[in-house]
Amino acid sequence: MSTIKAKDGTQIYFKDWGTGKPVLFSHGWPLDADMWDSQMNFLAERGYRAIAFDRRGFGRSDQPWTGYDYDTFASDINDLITSLDLQDVTLVGFSMGGGDVTRYIGHYGSARVAGLVLLGAVTPIFGQAEDYPQGVDKSVFTGIKAGLLKDRAQFISDFAAPFYGTNAGQTVSEGVLTQTLNIALMASLKGTVDCVTAFSETDFRADMAKIDVPTLVIHGSNDQIVPFETTGKVAAEMIQGSALKVYDNAPHGFAVTHQDQLNEDLLTFLKAR
């Protein structure tokens, strides 16, 4: 099993498929690197090196008691990039993963980065703040944490409906729902809860001001988890020269429901680099 050791000793698992220009994927909550299997296989078969890691506390990575904050997540990505000596890497972040690749650029710069892709990402701010009242109300995140602590398995099972839009006309297989629940339950409960605090309270605006690489923003128009109007739309407006694609009626989990469309859009973006 491939791992690197982060600065604090935490073992971070990663998968590394194919050869060619590297693409590094950062997963969403409460998933792990396996969410990217379709995209990784598709790109590796077309001459790219696809790399995805399990965020600390999730999947096959260690489950430390602390460190579930974006400065640490960005540091873990930096440790992975430097350990593998990646150059001209395209960073792809989904949902909360969009935050850690953005924070990586904010803290470590773009010398090794060829491009950035934000998919249904929590940038620039997900939760409500004094100077960002349009963000999601804090009570929503309080409810999520309470649900996880009371009955995580049932909460995640119920969460899948708005995540994949099955309550709004989308269809996913029973296998996908089973896999989603299984992946979520592999994670540290402490890490799962602490990440809710991290992605709901972190302000990425200063990091986004430092983005100076070609950027693609993709969001679903019917995202019930990370609302497009206050995240993806604003992010695309903030990042100079970025391209925005809005998937009509797509849910948050469009990497599954719109798999083929996403794969082709990623390939087109990569070919232009």
Sheet holding 243-247, edge to edge: 3-5, 11-17, 48-53, 21-26, 89-94, 113-119, 215-220, 243-247
- List, in order, residues 6 or more apart from 44 with CB less than 8 Å away: 17, 18, 50
Catalytic residue annotation: 95, 223, 252
Query: Exposed, middle or buried, 30 (CB in 10 Å: 0-12/13-18/19+)?
Result: buried
Whether 120 and 245 have beta carbons less than 8 Å apart is answered as no
89 - beta bridge partners?
Answer: 113
As a whole number of angstroms, the distance between CA 142 and CA 197 comes to 9
Residue 29's SS3 state is coil
Per-residue burial over 112-150, b if 16 or more Cβ lie within 10 Å, else e, is bbbbbbbbbbbbbbbbbbeeeeebbeeeebeebbeebee
Q: How far is CA 118 from the centre of its chain?
A: 8
Per-residue burial over 7-27, b if 16 or more Cβ lie within 10 Å, else e, is eeebbbbbbbbbeebbbbbbb
As a whole number of angstroms, the distance between CA 173 and CA 139 comes to 31
